[in-house]
């Protein structure tokens, strides 16, 4: 099996009032604030077709996560039995890619305002995708 590494190039960055990992909500629907997605000039063409009201998936690189953690207490609750990180949404995991479903509020040139994003200020953005019906279990 190939174990070759692959390289991601951030396409933008999160601008958010969230700066303290300990105080950040664990999920976007747990009181996360609005945030700006600020994109690099060279990828702006890739945003064409995104508009206010759209539901999008933002993929981030959780640069403050630990990559050598394989088991965690779910939701950091020590009373819960440790589980493998692939069965949790812990940011700590071998490849700490964050997956955030958010709604687009507004566009302003290279910036997109979104609702309820739990990512910390300065988190690199690596991809954006539309939400599909298959993502939500509609077949």
Q: Which residues bind a copy of itself (CB under 8 A)?
A: 1-11, 13, 27-29, 38, 40, 43, 45-50, 54-57, 59, 61, 63, 70-71, 82-89, 93-95, 97, 99, 101, 122, 124, 126-132, 134-137, 139
Least distance (Å) from a copy of itself to the CB of residue 124? 7
Nearer to a copy of itself (CB atom), residue 1 or residue 20? 1
Contact 118/28 with Cβ under 8 angstroms?
yes
What's 32's DSSP letter? P
Name 111's Cβ contacts closer than 8 Å, sequence gap at least 6: 15, 36, 37, 38, 39
Least distance (Å) from a copy of itself to the CB of residue 19? 16
Nearer to a copy of itself (CB atom), residue 21 or residue 82? 82
Contact 66/55 with Cβ under 8 angstroms?
no
Least distance (Å) from a copy of itself to the CB of residue 81? 9
Torsion, Cα 79 27 122 38, to 10 degrees, reads 170
Torsion, Cα 54 57 60 65, to 10 degrees, reads 130
Nearer to a copy of itself (CB atom), residue 21 or residue 84? 84
Least distance (Å) from a copy of itself to the CB of residue 83? 4
């Amino acid at each position: 099996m190939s174990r070759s590494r692959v390289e991601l190039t951030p396409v933008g960055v999160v601008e958010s009032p969230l700066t303290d990992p300990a105080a950040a909500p664990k999920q976007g629907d747990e009181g996360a604030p609005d945030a700006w997605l600020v994109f690099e000039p060279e990828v702006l063409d890739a945003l064409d077709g995104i508009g206010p009201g759209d539901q999008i998936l933002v993929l981030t690189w959780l640069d403050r996560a630990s990559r050598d953690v394989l088991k965690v207490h779910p939701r950091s609750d020590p009373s819960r039995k440790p589980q493998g990180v692939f069965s949790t949404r812990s940011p700590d995991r071998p490849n700490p890619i964050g997956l955030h479903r958010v709604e687009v509020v507004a566009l302003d040139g290279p910036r997109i305002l979104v609702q309820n994003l739990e990512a910390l200020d300065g988190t690199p953005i690596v991809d954006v995708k539309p939400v599909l019906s298959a993502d939500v279990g509609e077949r």
